[in-house]
Amino acid sequence: MSQSVELHHIGMAFGQTRAVSDVSFTVGGGEFFSILGPSGCGKTTILRMTAGFLEPTEGTILIGGRDMRGLGPDQRPTAMIFQSLALFPLMPVWENIAFGLEARGVAKRTRKAKAEELLKLVALEGLGNRMPGELSGGQRQRVAIARALAVEPQVLLLDEPLSALDLKLRQRMRAELRALQKRTGVTFIYITHDQSEALAMSDRVAVMSAGVLQQVGAPRELYDNPATPFVARFVGETNAIPGKVTAIDDGIATIESAYGPLRGRAGNGLSVSMAAKLYVRPEALEQRPDGDGYLRAAIERIDFEGAFALAHGRLPDGSMLIASIPSTELAGAPSIGAPADFSFRPANAVVLSDG
Amino acid sequence: MNAADRIARGLFAFYFVAFFVYLFAPLAIMAAATFNTSRFPTITPWQGTTLDWFNQLAADTGMWQSLRTSILVAFFVVAVALPIGTAAALMLTSLHARARSFLYAVMVSPLLTPGVVVGISTLVLWRQLGVGGGIFLIVLAQASFIICYVMLMVAARLQRFDRTQEEAAIGLGASKFMMFRRVMLPFLKPALIAAAFLAVLQSIENYNTTLFVRGFDTPLTVYIATKVRTGLTPAVNALALIMIAVTIIGAIVYEVVRRRSRSSIDV
Amino acid sequence: MAELYRRFGSGLGTLFLALVAVWLAGMVLAPNLMMIDYAFRPNLLPAEIGGPRDVYSLDNILYLANESVHRTIFFKTVWASALVAFLTLVVCYPPAYWLAQRATPNHTAVVLLALTIPFWINEVLRTLAWYILLAFRGPLNAVLLALGIIDQPMRWYGDAGVLAGMVYAYILFMLFPIYNAIESLDRSQIEAARDLGASIWRTHWRVVIPHAKAGIATGCVFTFMLAAGSYVAPALLGAPGSRWFTEIIYNWFFEGGDWNRGAAYALVLLVLCLTVVLVTLRIARVNLTDVAK
């Protein structure tokens, strides 16, 4: 079983700028863990601190229970895959893969055998003598992974390694990465700003914003139970309807909105008379004017996306409402220009306080 | 196209031909004069065709001695300039903007210093230390500005270096030294070869600086210039012809190397 | 410096630092400081060094100011070097423009390589070529006589010869910076100017030259500096009446035997060149970082 990674109250300041504030989470051994957030949210800083390229200004990092303070990247049981991949352009593929072994003084014959083995693992058999520049984007990706795995790391750190690939290839590489992780059992910490990538691949995801950890949880949990407004907006599409909390009953909050009272599950720390927003996902909106509250919107356009269509409507006060309509039900969709009524089950909406 | 434009274009075509005549005619005349029997190198009047001046050149022991001196100097200049120029370029890329532009200005200043001043300042410093002119001072004086060229060429190549490769190497457990030897040096190699070429050519062609620090040693350029004033014969032209041939080959090789370094794959 | 150590470790980092320090302190700064020291001290017999007469003074520089022949030669060197820079600019601008904007990439590559060939051949040989061409009974006079343009051979050695040889020697230092600058000009700008009815001359004056200003300034600066500091062209192509300031400096060192005065003259030359360089770059608003490429 590979090793766990624990971050305890990690903080990082570059001069006056705070990149990361008080972040704590634990990644289990053998887990596929993603850190998700927009660029500049501090996720790369966390990865580089874990790898040992940066020393945190506060807090401790434990890998396999061992304090990593003062250990350089070469002394940690981690290997990193860079966004640019950072393959060495003037070394053939096999030397790239065996570079970490060369650094450890492994004999050339052993290095070569190990490189062959890894090439097989990433399905690049027979390409060992090619130069990196002669490979396709997906192949280079796999070389980078093989190079990192060659040093038998306990933890693999991946810094948006798929961002340079086109959509189709990216989707295939996601599946490959996931399969490889399961096969090797190595702990993966994966950085991305692409929420669908994080949701599709990970066992658990940490969402970050502006250097602050927002929520850690399984993909479903983040989606269904966002802990903060940021998570609600960043993970998946959502509609946010402002209002004031008037009652909390058995975990269900009622807010008074511009469109009347609306009900949804109460988020953490919510109390009566707080300013709050109700978050409801497009697919939770159903086109039927009953239930606990409904939203009437004038339909402006319907974007057909394939499996579903997105209806963009305007609420009476001018703000937008987006509802998803499965393609199979498009026949009953409202017509453009006409008003339509949408409602939702309180269990499918969440109320979170502002700020 | 109107008439004025046509005239402008015609004038320009004429100018271009004239420009190339201006560029190459003097060299062609100098080369051709090698084959004229006239004791003073010229092509007018043509007194008869001969290859004898090559023999005269071959028999000129002073010339051979000075060639040896020049090659020796060039060798040491490369040995000094390549490591220092590379170190300077690496240092520049490790600095932040403000400090970098200041250090850059300091580092290119020898290029903006007249060659005679470079020679003189080196000469006076070392006389104070009890060292007179000679090969040692020639090497120091020439290297002091040839390092700038090396630094510029290495820095240009470094700009295209993906710095995450350094971290990748370290992250895989390489020592700093191994990272430098296995990752950086191979990347810099084309620039280093080109810079070595340039340094050799700059060293061998130098006159203004060398003149002041040569002491009793006589590199090739000084020898030729002395010949011009003390007894110019077409034997010098024979030497010029050979040097033209060598430099043309050198220029072509340099260009090929440079193009290869430019087109070599960056990942 | 911390970054240097972080990247390369203490061993390599110290090595790099030491190498650069040897260069900048030992090979650039120290020699220049010693030259300045020499320039402000009198030329003394060995016995007098350290004695009461061994004091700093401006005597050596004042000597240049008061010695009318040297002063004249100094100013002539200044304006003649400026003239060399200007002539080189005039000669180089048209081919630089053609290479950068009108030639096909293949033409450009071939022509640039051809242009570098005279550049690779050393300055002494380039000057020697002109020495032969301009000889009293040399090819140029022979051709001009044959064409009937002159009826007596001309004496070209002297100011004319020095100018011709210098312009020739420094063409590349002017051509490449201008070429680089014009090359970055979007061709559609020239076409737009022509389309709006500007003549060829106006297009150059209003569009191309302003764009190429940095390159032109760089080329002029280098050419001026090289011309003012040249020894070989005036020595070979000059005449007794066309002495160059560098020849005077040389004489102080190796014939007059007064190194202090020679160092003072060299210092004046250095200050002149640096002033011209910095002022020109400031006027043209060129950063020193963009000069050397």
Q: Where are the domains of chain B?
A: 62-219+250-263
Inter-chain CB proximity B115 and C129 less than 8 Å: no
CB atoms C113 and B252 under 8 Å: yes
Q: How confident is the model at residue B9 (pLDDT cuts 50, 70, 90)?
A: confident
Measure A203 CA to nearest chain B CA, in Å: 26
Whether B207 sits inside 8 A of C229 (CB atoms) is no
pLDDT at A290 over 70: no
Per-residue pLDDT averaged across B209-218, rounded?
Answer: 90
Say whether C9 and B175 touch across the interface (CB within 8 A). yes
In chain B, residues with a C-beta closer than 8 Å to the C-beta of C44 are none
pLDDT above 90 (res C257):
no
Query: Using a CB-CB distance cutoff of 8 angstroms, which residues of chain B are in contact with residue C38?
Result: 124
- Interface contact flag, B244 C133, Cβ < 8 Å: no
Residue C148: burial class (beta carbons within 10 Å; 0-12, 13-18, 19+): exposed
pLDDT band at A289 (very low <50, low <70, confident <90, very high): low
Per-residue pLDDT, A291: 61
Which residues of C, range 167-206, sit inside 8 Å of B by Cβ? 168, 171, 199-200
Residue C111 lies in a domain: yes
Chain A residue with CA closest to B188: the answer is A90
- Options 2.30.40.10, 2.40.50.100, 3.40.50.300, 2.102.10.10; CATH of A237-353: 2.40.50.100
Phi/psi of residue A170, nearest 5 degrees: -60, -40
In a domain, C250, yes or no: yes
List all chains that touch chain A, counting a touch as 3 or more CB pairs closer than 8 Å: B
Most confident among A64-68, B147-151, C144-148 (mean pLDDT): B147-151
Using an 8 Å CB-CB cutoff, list chain B residues near A147: 168, 172
- Cα distance between the two ends of chain B: 47
Partner-chain contact B169 A99, CB within 8 Å = yes
Per-residue pLDDT of A114-161, as tens digits, reads 999 899 888 888 898 999 888 988 899 889 989 988 888 889 999 988
Whole-model pTM: value is 0.80
Q: Give yes or no for residue A65 having a pLDDT over 60.
A: yes
Task: Flag the least confident range among B66-80, C136-150, C256-270.
Answer: C136-150
**When comparing pLDDT for C198 and B236, which is higher?**
B236
Q: Quick one: pLDDT at residue A75?
A: 85
Whether chain A has a CB inside 8 Å of the CB on B178: the answer is yes
Name every chain B residue with its beta carbon within 8 A of the beta carbon of A137. none
Q: With 80 as the cut, is the pLDDT of residue B44 above it?
A: no
Give B228's contacts in chain C (Cβ within 8 Å).
128, 131, 236
Separation in Å, CA of B107 to nearest CA in chain C: 7
Min Cα separation C41/chain B (Å): 13
pLDDT the model gives residue B267 = 34
Could you tell me which of B157, B123, B113 has the C-alpha nearest to residue B262? Answer: B157
What pLDDT digit, counting tens, does each position of B84-114 carry?
999 999 999 888 878 888 888 889 889 888 9
Q: What is the DSSP letter of B181?
A: I
- pLDDT above 80 (res C107): no
Chains A, B: CB pairs < 8 Å = 83
Looking at the domain that runs over B62-219+250-263, which CATH code has it been given?
1.10.3720.10
Instruction: Answer yes or no: do C4 and B107 touch at CB < 8 A.
Output: no
- A41 has pLDDT over 50: yes
Task: Please report which helix (H) or strand (E) contains residue A173, including its range.
Answer: helix A167-184
CATH of the domain at C114: 1.10.3720.10
Contact B167 A82 (CB under 8 A): yes
| For testing contact with chain A, the best of B96, B161, B170, B172 (most A CBs within 10 A) | B172
In this model, does residue C171 exceed pLDDT 80?
Answer: yes
User: Touching check for C31 and chain B: CB below 8 Å?
Assistant: yes
Contacts of C226 in chain B (CB under 8 A): 114-115
On the question of pLDDT at B266 being above 50, the answer is: no
CATH superfamily membership of A5-225: P-loop containing nucleotide triphosphate hydrolases (3.40.50.300)
Residues 215-254 of C with CB under 8 A from B: 221-222, 225-226, 228-232, 235-236, 246, 249-250, 253
**C33 is a domain residue:** no
Question: Looking at the domain assignment, is residue C263 inside a domain?
Answer: yes
The confidence score (pLDDT) of residue B265 equals 43
Across the interface, do B116 and C91 touch by the CB < 8 Å criterion?
no
| Of residues C105, C160, C161, the one with CA closest to residue C132 | C161
**How much is the average pLDDT of A214-221?**
90
In a domain? residue C223: yes
Q: Does the pLDDT of residue B145 top 60, yes or no?
A: yes
With contacts defined as CB-CB under 8 Å, which chain B residues touch A89?
A: 187, 264-267
Report CB contact under 8 Å: C129, B19.
no
The number of domains in chain C is 1
Q: Give this complex's ipTM.
A: 0.85
The alpha carbon of residue B110 is apart from the nearest alpha carbon of chain C, in Å, by: 7
What pLDDT, on a 0 to 100 scale, did the predictor assign at position B90?
94
CA–CA min distance A103, chain B (Å)? 5
The share of chain A scoring above pLDDT 90, in percent, equals: 19
Mean pLDDT of C2-19: 90
Q: Nearest CB to B173: which of A83, A86, A104?
A: A104
In a domain, C22, yes or no: no
- Residues in chain A with CB shorter than 8 Å from the CB of B174 are 74, 99-100, 102-103
Digit-coded pLDDT (tens) for A21-38: 889 999 988 899 999 998
pLDDT given for residue C291 in this prediction? 61
Q: Mean pLDDT over residues A59-80, rounded?
A: 88
Q: Which residues belong to CATH 3.40.50.300 in chain A?
A: 5-225
Determine the residue of chain B that is closest to C111 in CA distance. Answer: B20
Residues 186-225 of B with CB under 8 A from A: 186-187
Q: What's the mean pLDDT when you consider all of chain C?
A: 86
Contacts of A213 (CB under 8 A, 6+ apart): A22, A23, A24, A25, A206, A207
Task: For residues C134-160, give the mean pLDDT.
Answer: 84
What is the average pLDDT across A214-236?
Answer: 88
* pLDDT of residue A92 exceeding 60: yes
How sure is the predictor about B185, in pLDDT bands with cuts at 50, 70 and 90?
Answer: very high
**B174 and A99 in contact (C-beta within 8 Å)?**
yes
